[in-house]
Chains A and B, each alone.
Chain A
Amino acid sequence: MNSDVTPIDSASRCPLLLLIVSGVLWLLVSGVFSLIHFAQVLNPGIFADCPFLTFGHIATIAENTFIYGWLANAGLALALWILARLGGEPVRAQNWVLAGTAFWNFGVTLGVVGIAIGDGSGYPLLGFPGYVQPLLLASYCAIAVAGVVAWGGRVRPVTYASQWYAAAALFLFPWFFSIAQVMLFFAPVRGVLQAVVASWYGQALWSLWMAPLGLGVAYYVIPKITGRTLRSYEFAALGFWSLIFIGPWTGGRHLIAGPVPAWIPTIGIVCLALMLFHYAVIVLNLVDTSSTSGTAGKFIGFGLLAYVGGGLIDCITGFHGVAVVTEFTHVEEAIKQLAFYGAGSMLLLGGLYYAVPRIVGRPWAMGGLVGGHVGCAVAGTVVLVLSLGVAGLVQGGGLLSAQMPFEQISILTDPWLFAAAVGECILLLGNGFLAANLVATLACTPGAETAPVHAAASLEASAP
Chain B
Amino acid sequence: MRNGLIFILGLIAAVGLSWAGIVLGSNGQLGGLAPFYDEAEGSSVPAWFPGVAAQGQLVYRGLGCAECHTQQVRRPDFGSDQARGWGDRQSVARDYIYQPFPQLGSSRVGPDLANLGGRKPNPPDEEDLMQLLYKGKGSMPAYRFLFTVREIVGQPSDRAVRITGEGAPPAGSEIVPSADAIALVGYLTNLNTNADYPESRPAPPAAGEEAPKTAPAKAGVANEQAAAKGQPTAQGHPAPTGPADSQPGAEGAKPQVGPSTAVSPDAQPMTSPAQKEPGK
Contacts and interface: CB of A to CB of B under 8 A. Distances in A.
B22 A399 contact: no
Contact of A402 (B72, B90, B277): B277
Interface in A40-54: 40-41, 44-51, 54
B23 A197 contact: yes
B139 A193 contact: no
Interface of B: 1-2, 4, 7-8, 10-15, 17-19, 21-23, 26-27, 29-31, 33, 59, 61-68, 70, 72, 74-75, 78-80, 83-84, 90-93, 95-111, 136-146, 217, 219-222, 225, 229, 237-238, 240-242, 245, 275, 277, 280
B29 A261 contact: yes
Nearest to B84: A402
Nearest to B216: A320
Interface stretch (A72-80, A98-106, A250-258, A376-384): A250-258
A267 B23 CA distance: 13
- Considering residues A54, A152, A179, A188, which has the most beta carbons from chain B within 10 angstroms of its beta carbon? A54
B71 to A, nearest CB: 9
Contacts of A449: none
Contacts of A171: 8, 11
Interface residues of A, number: 88
A277 interface: no
A45 B136 contact: yes
A406 B110 contact: yes
A419 to B, nearest CB: 17
A261 to B, nearest CB: 5
Interface of A: 40-41, 44-51, 54-57, 59-60, 115, 118-122, 124, 151-152, 157-159, 164, 167-168, 171-172, 175-176, 179, 183, 188-197, 200, 204, 208, 237, 241, 244-245, 248-249, 251-252, 254, 257-264, 267, 319-321, 324-325, 327-329, 332-333, 395, 399-403, 405-407, 410
A356 B243 CA distance: 56
Given A122-B61, A192-B30, A262 B145 contact: no
A226 to B, nearest CB: 23
B93 A259 contact: yes
B104 A259 contact: yes
A257 B138 contact: no
User: Is chain A's binding surface mostly helix, strand, loop or mixed?
Assistant: helix
Contacts of B107: 328-329, 332-333
B145 A51 contact: yes
19 contacts: A50-B145, A51-B145, A60-B67, A124-B106, A171-B11, A172-B14, A194-B102, A245-B17, A258-B72, A260-B93, A261-B26, A262-B241, A320-B222, A321-B219, A324-B78, A332-B107, A395-B108, A402-B280, A410-B139
Contact of B33 (A158, A164, A190, A194): A190
B23 A48 contact: no
Contacts of B30: 190-193, 260-261
B108 A399 contact: yes
Contacts of A168: 11
Contacts of B8: 171
Contacts of A151: 4
Contacts of A45: 136, 141-142
Contacts of B95: 259
A67 to B, nearest CB: 16
A41 B229 CA distance: 32
A320 B12 CA distance: 33
A328 B22 contact: no
A193 B28 CA distance: 10
Contacts of B240: 259, 261
Given A55-B68, A262-B237, A191 B102 contact: yes
A462 to B, nearest CB: 32
Contacts of B1: 158-159, 164, 237
Nearest to A151: B4
Given A56-B63, A188-B100, A400-B79, A47 B141 contact: yes
Nearest to A325: B221
B125 to A, nearest CB: 20
A241 B11 CA distance: 9
B18 A200 contact: yes
Nearest to A61: B64
Contact of A54 (B13, B110, B141, B220): B141
Contacts of A46: 141
Given A44-B142, A254-B106, A328-B105, 17 more contacts: A48-B136, A50-B145, A51-B146, A54-B141, A120-B61, A159-B1, A164-B1, A164-B7, A190-B30, A190-B31, A191-B93, A196-B26, A325-B221, A333-B107, A400-B80, A406-B139, A407-B139
Nearest to A410: B139
B83 to A, nearest CB: 4
A403 B80 CA distance: 9
